[in-house]
Every structure is written in structure tokens, then in C-alpha cells.
Amino acid sequence: MHFHKDNIITIYQFFERKIFTNTFYILFIILWSPSIFAESLLNFDFKDHKIENGFGKWSYSDKGTNPCNVYNGINQSKLCTPDNFRFYIHFANYNNHHMGWRRYGYIDASSNIAVRGSALKIVQTGGVYQNRLGKIVRSGKVVSSKSDVDDVGIDAVVSNRALPGDLGVYYKTSNSTNKIPELYGKNRLTLWLLMPKESSDIKRYNKRVKGRPDSRFSWYPFIGTSKAAHYYHHISNIAMGGWTKVQFDAHPSHNNAGNRRSYNAYNEGGKEYKGDGRSYFSNIAAFAFASKAMRNLTSPVAYYIDEVESSYVEYENEETINNLAVGFNPYTKQFDISLEDKYRCTKCKAQYELRYSFFPISNANFKLSRKVKNVVNFNRRDNNNNGKIIKSAPGYNQIWAAFNLQNEDSFKLNIGSKVYFALKDTSNRRSINQDPLDFEKVSVPGIGGIRKIDLIKTIDYEIIEVHIPLSIEPIEIETLVIGRKYMQIFTPYGGKPPYTFSTTSTLPPGISLSNKGKIYGLPIEKTNTTINIVVTDAIGNNASKSLSLKVNDISDYDIAKCVPLIDFGKNADNNKIGLSAYTEVIKDVYTGYKKFGTTITVGSNGHYNYQGVKGEGLDFEIGDSIRSVWFNDGKKAITFKPFISLSSSGRLNFRDSANWHPMDSITIKANEFKAATFDITKSTVGRAKVVNISANFSNNRRLILDKLEYVSHKGKVDNICRLSL
């Protein structure tokens, strides 16, 4: 039996709600409630917040020495203990998307961004990537220690390029088979993680855009020996702006050695210790962390980890609710949560009930805790106000959702306050042959026998202040046009909300800036100026950004020596062919008319959307170009690259792909017209009896082709194509 102060708080809550009246029963729950034995593994509280001073028994070693025998350690920095434990960056050299790309970077201490004391900062400065010719090339100078940067400065080594890989870190014992003593007898490994703010956008983190949640941060434990296969544990949280609390348990989702299992389902404890999470943890000889949230971000980029602890928790669902993590947005007061399901198959659907409290939650009081206000599921069609987290992709383990607390409780989310969360599996898995271990009963003190699948899984979250410097998110103001309405919103990051915006510049006539950061209006005269936007946070900190702001007249967009090939209409009768060289309109059977142009109107496959003209044709020469003018009829910007063929009158397919050529890649804002251009080259000169455009974009009627235009270098200057309004 163990007595824990949180259990007393739980019972006080019961008294306040007058739920229990049997004193003996209350006492029994106090004495038999599950206990948590937390032990620090890595706290990163560096002396004087300098990594060179080390923390606890850990010391820092830069390149040039290798006191704890890190592989290739003479060439990189690392953390070591007197008994030869080590913690260091793993520099992968596989250079492929499956195994990892060579990255450059270093570890450092962080005091301004930390949970407590200081944290570990892992900085990626550059690395290698594969260019268009398939060659592996380097971007940025080779960096493997803090001294590499201190000697020349960060600007001299970074790549300033988006790179596909990430930096992982390893924790190893003195040899390949020694175990990690802090993990003995435990079944939880927790840590705090701060992901790069650029790594995700909650608006685009959904099934329609990505298909399924990503593996954003991973733990790879090696069981028995560090020289054999390892397991995978993943979380799918995104960068919410605050810290993410990560809670890995003893239930892996995968093993890199692989083995065929029904529904790809491991048990708690993996294949070595089926149903025994404590033995799984007790036999971990090494582990690695990998921050996949860094992938495809522009270097330099960093993530932070802090307060790595182990613990043991009893009487929870260790089979179908695995690897919980909770993140928090301190500005919007919204949380996100991720977990891994045990099962993967086309019929492996899953659903969970989420509840919260400001007191610890147990199997006994789960129904007394509160349902969240709303759940934003990965598949937005599953959003609800019933606290239901619904798996979006049954063929994968990852599950993600965002949520808010009830309005009256969101005001309690102040620095230092703690929220307790609990999940209960409410899935209907009758369509699969479920693992019998899920239904094995556990004798829970004070309650009795409960099936493993009916136990809850808990995680707590403390609101921690994030001291990120105030800044204005990068933004580029596109050229404004006289007489056309304009609106854009600046987004602050860091600092302490609320924020106030102002400007020290004179804005163009007709344009205003609100104190909430919205720049808007109807420009009335041409101008080309630089404006300075200033944001001030709640404690008086300022950040500014200078931006170029240009206002054009509509005539500035006239294209000389240009004639229309076709102006598509609202239907076939309204098509206007511009040149007698082309007499027939061509289009896919799935392509139809909408508003003033063509789009895919049946299904959503972008390859089924083509349209254009054919006839006797024109003789195209080098210096000529073809323009396709598009309209975005959706609510969000669209980025795409249309294709053009001057010989094929059908769909873009593999058999005649050589006859199709990419046009410019363009981004079109909502309710905006924009043109993609194709310049005639040596390989495309000659008579073109067809001008055929394939959007190659699954647009669901959002992307409309308005017209095709021909610009001839021999054309008349007074032949003008004008910008659509």
C-alpha cells in the first residue's frame, strides 16, 4: 500500500460533490489508489545555465576528446557520466528518406526556454539533400559541436534551406548490455518537448490535407542489447506554441526487425515480455529520441527537451491506449492530444472518451470528471461536443485531436496550474478478432475485477510559461491593385498576449492597420513604399517588421503582344475562341463548367481534369509563351503546377508523359486570379495543333481555368491581354 497526497485531494473532491457516504469505502480507495514513483533520468539543469558546466553527475565534452567512448565521439560534442553513460546526437549517414539524412548540428543549454532550470537545445544547422539530378549535395558547413558555431558564428555555418532529415539523440550505458537503472521496475518515460513553431499548422493538420497524423516525435528503446533491433513509440502532436508533455509507456507500435502479427498488434512488453511492461522497461539497454517535426524545415531550426523522468503507474489500460502526449497553446487556450492504438487494419476503427479534472482521475472517479467542451478530430467530419476522439485512419496506429476545456475552466489555465486528463476506450471492434489479453481482468483495489480494455489511461499537464521572444510571423504583402479590396492579418509569436499593433509609417491612401494586426482597405493611388509594423505585448515588449508595400494600377498588368486562344464561359455555348487556327474545344468527360470557366465537376482526381483547344494550329517559336489564367473559388490559398501539352488531346498519363510539360508553379489566394506561364523552348517549337492544359490537382471544383492566352514575340504591341477582375 502507498499513501499519496494526490489521493487525498481526490477524496476531498468526492466529499465536496457528496458522491460517497461510506467512510470505509473512501478510506479503502485512499489506501489502494495507484501510486506514481517518479525518478529523474535527465533534468538538464546545467550549472549557471551553461552546457560546459554539466549538471548532476553529467559532464559536457566537446569535440577533440572522448571520455565516454561515444562512437566517432572525437569529432562531436556529448554528455557523459563517470560510469560511462552517454547522451549525444546521432549523425545518420544513410541519406535516404527511410533511414535518415546526414544532418549537421549541436547540443546546447537553454535557460530562457525551459520547464525548470535549463533545458537541452538540439540545433540543426544544415546537412545534405538530393538535388534534381539525384546527386547528394551539402548545404551549410559541417557542424558537430557547439564550438564549431562559437568559433565563426551561426550565420557562417547555416544552410538557410529546407532539408528533409532530422537530428536524433542517443542515451547509452557503459556497454551494449548494461541496463538503465532509472528505468528498472518502471512503465513510464515522460519528458517535456518544445517543437519548432514552423513544424505544423493546425488548420492544415487534417485528413483532407495529410491523410493521417504524422509521427512527430519518437522513442526507440533497445531491449536486452543496444546492438539488436529496437522498438518504435510515436506521438503525433503538433507545435501548439507551448510545451508538449510526452508520456511513453511499455507498449510499442513496431519493431524495426519486423514480424508478422495479427493486425500488426504488439502487446504491452513487446514480444519479449508480453503483458509485462515493468520487465520491458527493466531490460532497456539504450534508447534514442527522434524529432521528426524538424523535417523539411529551413535550417537553423531547434527543438528542446527537458525533465526526462521514469515512473511506475498501476491499474491503467496498457493495451489499447498507448503513448499519450498533450500539448497546449497558451494564446488560444487550446490543447492537443495524441495516442497510439494497438490495432492496424482496414476495419480497425477506434474511439475514445476524453475527460479532465483539476484533481487526479482514477478508474473510480472517471465518470465524475468533466467532458471537454469540444473535440477537433483529425477527420474534421468527426468533430463533436461529446469528448469523443475518433481514429481517422484505421490502417495506422496514430490518433490525434485538439480540444478545449469548458469555458468556465479555461480561465483557470494559469501558469503553474495542473490539469488531469483521462481516456477510456469506447471502441466497437466486433469486426476483428481482438486479442484475448485485452479482456483479461485486473483486480483493482476498492473496485474489483476490470477488463484491461476498460481501464482508463491518464496524463497530467502543468501550464508552463514559454519565454519565446516576441516576433511577427514572416509575411509577404503581395502587390495591391487600385480599386481592389485588400485584407491581410499579421500573426504575433512569443511574448505575452494580448498584443497591440501599430505602425510608424504612413500607409498608402485607402489602406489602414487595426490594433489587432489587420491591414486592409481599398487603395486609390499608385505607390511603392516600405512600411514598419510594430507589435507590443502585454508587458511592453516590442517587435517590428519592415515590409515592402506596392500599389499598382490595373493597366500595369496588361500583357502586350498577347491574344486570347480561348475564354471559357459558364457553359459550352459561352466559350469564346480567339483565333481561327483553333476551332474545337476539348475537355475531359469529368471536366465541366462553373461560373466563368472549367473545372473538374465529377470526382476529384486531378488527372481527369484537362481542357483546351485544337485545330490547324499555330507555329510556335522560341520567345513565344502560353498563359493559363486561373481563379481560386475556394476559401484557402491553392498552390499547384499545371501541365501543358502541344500534341496530346487526352489525359496526362504515363504512356505519353514525354508530351506533357510543367508550367510555372503558382499560389493563388482565395477569390484571386493568377496566370501560369509556359515559355516555348527548342524542344517545343513548331506547329501545335493542340493546346491542352491538365491541372493535375484534386481540386473539387475550387480551381477554375478562366482562359488561355498566346504571347507572340512577333505580335503587335497593341494586342493586349488584361487582368481578370
The C-alpha atoms of residue 221 and residue 497 are separated, in whole angstroms, by 40
CA-based max dimension of the chain: 98
Instruction: Please tell me whether residues 72 and 130 are part of one structural domain.
Output: yes
**Is there a domain that residue 260 lies in?**
yes
- Does residue 208 have a pLDDT over 80? yes
* pLDDT band with cut points at 50, 70 and 90 for residue 658: confident
Which percentage of the chain shows pLDDT scores above 70? 94
322-329 vs 334-340, strand pairing mode: antiparallel
Residues 235 and 102 grouped into a single domain:
yes
- On whether both 337 and 411 belong to a single domain, the answer is yes
Q: How many whole angstroms separate alpha carbon 243 and alpha carbon 114?
A: 9
pLDDT of residue 568: 95
Domain of 27, in residue numbers: 5-33
Place 36 in a pLDDT band, splitting at 50, 70 and 90.
low
Mean pLDDT of 306-322: 97
- What is the model's pLDDT at position 35? 47
pLDDT digits (tens, 9 = 90+) for 360-387: 999 999 999 999 999 999 999 999 999 9
Mean pLDDT across the chain: 89
Q: Which of 125-139, 422-436, 561-575 has the lowest mean pLDDT?
A: 125-139
Q: How many helices (H) and strands (E) does the chain have?
A: 6, 51
- Asked whether residue 29 falls in the same domain as residue 72, the answer is no
| Residue 33: pLDDT over 80 | no
Residues 614 and 516 in one domain: no
The residue with greater pLDDT, 421 or 103, is 421
More confident call, 654 vs 397: 397
Asked whether residue 108 falls in the same domain as residue 177, the answer is yes
Q: Does residue 156 share a domain with residue 290?
A: yes
Q: Show which of 437, 462, 487 is a domain's final residue.
A: 462
Residue whose C-alpha is closest to residue 337's, from 433, 264, 238? 238
Give residue 27's pLDDT band: very low, low, confident or very high (50, 70, 90).
very low
pLDDT of residue 493: 80
Query: What nine digits make up the cell of 418?
Result: 495542473
In a domain, residue 716? The reply is no
Q: Is the pLDDT of residue 171 over 90?
A: yes
Would you tell me how many other CB atoms lie within 10 Å of the CB of residue 205?
21
Least confident piece of the model among 258-267, 270-279, 620-629: 258-267
Instruction: Output the pTM of the full model.
Output: 0.75
CB 44 within 8 A of CB 109: yes
653 within domain boundaries: yes
Residue 724 lies in a domain: no
Residue 25 has pLDDT above 50, yes or no: no
When mean pLDDT is compared across 179-188, 193-202, 297-306, 587-596, the lowest value belongs to 193-202
Residue 368 main-chain phi, psi, to 5 deg: -85, -15
Q: What is the pLDDT of residue 605?
A: 74
Chosen domain end from 555, 576, 596: 555
Write the pLDDT tens digit of every residue in 223-256.
999 999 999 999 999 999 899 999 999 999 999 8
Same domain, residue pair 491 and 366: no
pLDDT of residue 725: 61
Asked if pLDDT for residue 86 goes beyond 70, the answer is yes
- Residue 276 shares a structural domain with residue 347: yes
Mean pLDDT of 589-616: 89
Is residue 148 situated within a structural domain? yes
Find the mean pLDDT for residues 194-207.
86
Cell numbers at residue 87, please? 547522451
Residues 154-163: pLDDT tens digits? 989 999 888 8
Helical packing angle, 23-32 and 5-17, nearest 10°: 150
pLDDT at 653: 80
Asked if 425 and 307 count as a contact pair (C-beta separation under 8 A), the reply is no
Examine the domain organization and report whether 399 and 485 are in the same domain: no
Residue 37 has a pLDDT of 67
My answer on whether 453 and 495 are in the same domain is no
In the predicted model, is pLDDT for residue 421 greater than 60? yes
Are 158 and 231 within one domain?
yes
Rg of the chain taking only CA atoms, in angstroms: 30
In a domain? residue 723: no
The count of structural domains within the chain is 4
Query: What letters, b where the CB count within 10 A reaches 16 and e where it falls short, cover 346-382?
Result: eebbbbbbbbbbebbbbbbbbebbebbbbbbbbeeeb
pLDDT at residue 718 tops 60: yes
Of 494, 520, 555, the residue that ends a domain is 555
Q: What is the CATH number of the domain that holds 486?
A: 2.60.40.10
Residue 446, pLDDT > 50, answer yes
DSSP 365: T
- When pLDDT is averaged across residues 671-694 and rounded to a whole number, the result is 93
**Residue 99: its pLDDT value, please?**
73
pLDDT at 146: 93
Residue 717 lies in a domain: no
Instruction: Please tell me the predicted confidence (pLDDT) of residue 13.
Output: 41
